[in-house]
């Protein structure tokens, strides 16, 4: 066949590289023949979902021949209560990833600009480039900053122009774990002109236990151009079901709703998310386990002479002070999956998700072995 389909694709898509996910357990099993694998690569909750979620899913299995509720009535009600807004402010997504893409599809065209930071979550560049818009990438803080590789809001503000329509900010950011304080973020949002939509991605909100960490969804009344995204994939332990959402001005939600696939959040995901919101205890347990994990892995890294970037999430960006590829491979051979971040421009780091205490122990032991082998 003589056609190159690549020539037929839009210029934005031609230049795209696919998102690189964490290596699935089954793939490592197939490729390396190892068993008893632990995955600390995708910031999933090692405790899994709440038992109430599993019960709720079980009870709704007999409804699977029916389409899901396209408006997600029940879940939106509960999220509206949680955020003290009207249900019209909520947009549900197939993961918050879906909403991040809907925002680009809704507000960007080829001559408009979107701003994000160097070392930001990989979905922002993909979403922007897929619609053919212009990405303006702000330099991140330098490695010796107290938030190394984190968002530099002053640098981001400098890139705002008449063409800017969208700014993506992750708080905390993935893969760095760095965060923005209430004062800093508010000052920034205050300076952004009204023709620019500011997306604050709070995927790790429930894990963030750091000083002066803001809940930006409380500022919607003051800043109607603000959109906050949250997810059930991280602290709620529902990554496999794909459900997230945004809180925004109702007009913004109305626009997103025009683009959104009508049945983008499936029945089980809606039921599970509702049940997850009811189990405060599981959330608290998950947060405590994470904090203990952060301390445990930091102590292990310290013993091994490694440093790390401060994190408000459920993962640590660990500096190996050498190229990470071989270490990543060595860990794989020992059945431990972590996340290389060279594709983010960080060739000497690994991003490691906090597991259970036993998993963290295995990681530290394996890391020690790999480092002394080399």
Ligand X SMILES: *Cc1c(COP(=O)(O)O)cnc(C)c1O
The yes or no reply on residue 286 touching ligand X (CB under 6 A) is no
The yes or no reply on residue 239 touching ligand X (CB under 6 A) is yes
The yes or no reply on residue 125 touching ligand X (CB under 6 A) is no
In the complex, residue closest to ligand X by CB: 95
The yes or no reply on residue 166 touching ligand X (CB under 6 A) is no
CB of 347 to ligand X, least distance (A): 20
Residue 42 burial class via C-beta count within 10 angstroms: exposed 0-12, middle 13-18, buried 19 and up: middle
The yes or no reply on residue 203 touching ligand X (CB under 6 A) is yes
| Near ligand X by CB under 6 A: residue from 148, 244, 300, 340 | 244
How many residues bind to ligand X according to rule CB under 6 A? 13
The yes or no reply on residue 233 touching ligand X (CB under 6 A) is yes
CA distance 278 to 289: 19
The yes or no reply on residue 264 touching ligand X (CB under 6 A) is no
| 3-state secondary structure (DSSP) of residue 308 | strand
The two structure tokens encoding residue 272 = 């599970």
The two structure tokens encoding residue 179 = 């965060």
Identity of the residue, 120 or 336, whose beta carbon is nearer to ligand X in the bound complex: 120
The two structure tokens encoding residue 25 = 């357990």
CB of 234 to ligand X, least distance (A): 6
CA 265 to chain centre: 18
Residues 17-76 that bind ligand X (CB under 6 A): 43
Residue 31 burial class via C-beta count within 10 angstroms: exposed 0-12, middle 13-18, buried 19 and up: exposed
Which residues sit opposite 200 in a β-bridge? 169, 228
The yes or no reply on residue 174 touching ligand X (CB under 6 A) is yes
The yes or no reply on residue 225 touching ligand X (CB under 6 A) is no
* Residues that bind ligand X in the complex, under the rule CB under 6 A: 43, 95-97, 121, 170, 174, 201, 203, 231, 233, 239, 244
């Amino acid at each position: 066949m003589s056609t190159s389909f690549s020539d037929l694709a839009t210029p934005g898509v031609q230049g795209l590289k696919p998102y690189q996910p964490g290596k699935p357990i089954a793939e490592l099993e197939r490729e390396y023949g190892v068993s008893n694998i632990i995955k600390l690569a995708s910031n999933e909750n090692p405790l899994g979902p709440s038992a109430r979620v599993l019960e709720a899913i079980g009870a709704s299995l007999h409804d699977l021949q029916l389409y899901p509720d396209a408006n997600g009535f029940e879940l939106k009600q509960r999220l509206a209560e949680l955020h003290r807004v009207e249900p019209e402010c909520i947009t549900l997504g197939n993961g918050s990833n879906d909403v991040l893409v809907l925002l680009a599809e809704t507000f960007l065209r080829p001559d408009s600009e979107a701003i994000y930071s160097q070392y930001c979550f990989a979905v922002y560049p993909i979403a922007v480039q897929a619609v053919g818009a212009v990405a303006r990438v702000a330099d991140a803080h330098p490695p010796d900053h107290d938030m190394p590789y984190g968002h530099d809001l002053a640098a981001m503000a400098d890139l705002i122009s008449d063409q800017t329509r969208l700014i993506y900010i992750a708080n905390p950011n993935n893969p760095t774990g760095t965060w923005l304080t209430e004062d800093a973020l508010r000052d920034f949002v205050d300076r952004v002109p009204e023709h620019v939509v500011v997306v604050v991605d709070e995927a790790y909100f429930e894990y963030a236990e750091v000083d002066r960490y803001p809940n930006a969804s409380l500022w919607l009344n003051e800043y109607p151009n603000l959109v906050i995204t949250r997810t059930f994939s991280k602290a709620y332990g529902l990554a496999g079901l794909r459900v997230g959402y945004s809180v925004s001005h109702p007009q913004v939600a109305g626009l997103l709703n025009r683009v959104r696939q009508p049945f983008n959040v499936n029945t089980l995901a809606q039921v599970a998310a509702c049940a997850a919101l009811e189990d405060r205890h599981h959330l608290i347990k998950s947060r405590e386990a994470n904090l203990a994990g952060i301390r445990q892995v930091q102590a292990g890294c310290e013993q091994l002479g490694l440093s790390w970037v401060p994190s408000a999430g459920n993962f640590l960006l660990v500096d190996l002070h050498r190229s990470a590829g071989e270490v990543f491979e060595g860990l794989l051979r020992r059945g431990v999956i972590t996340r290389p971040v060279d594709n983010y421009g960080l060739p000497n780091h690994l991003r490691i998700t906090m597991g259970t205490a036993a998993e963290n122990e295995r990681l530290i032991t394996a890391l020690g072995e790999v480092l002394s082998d080399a």
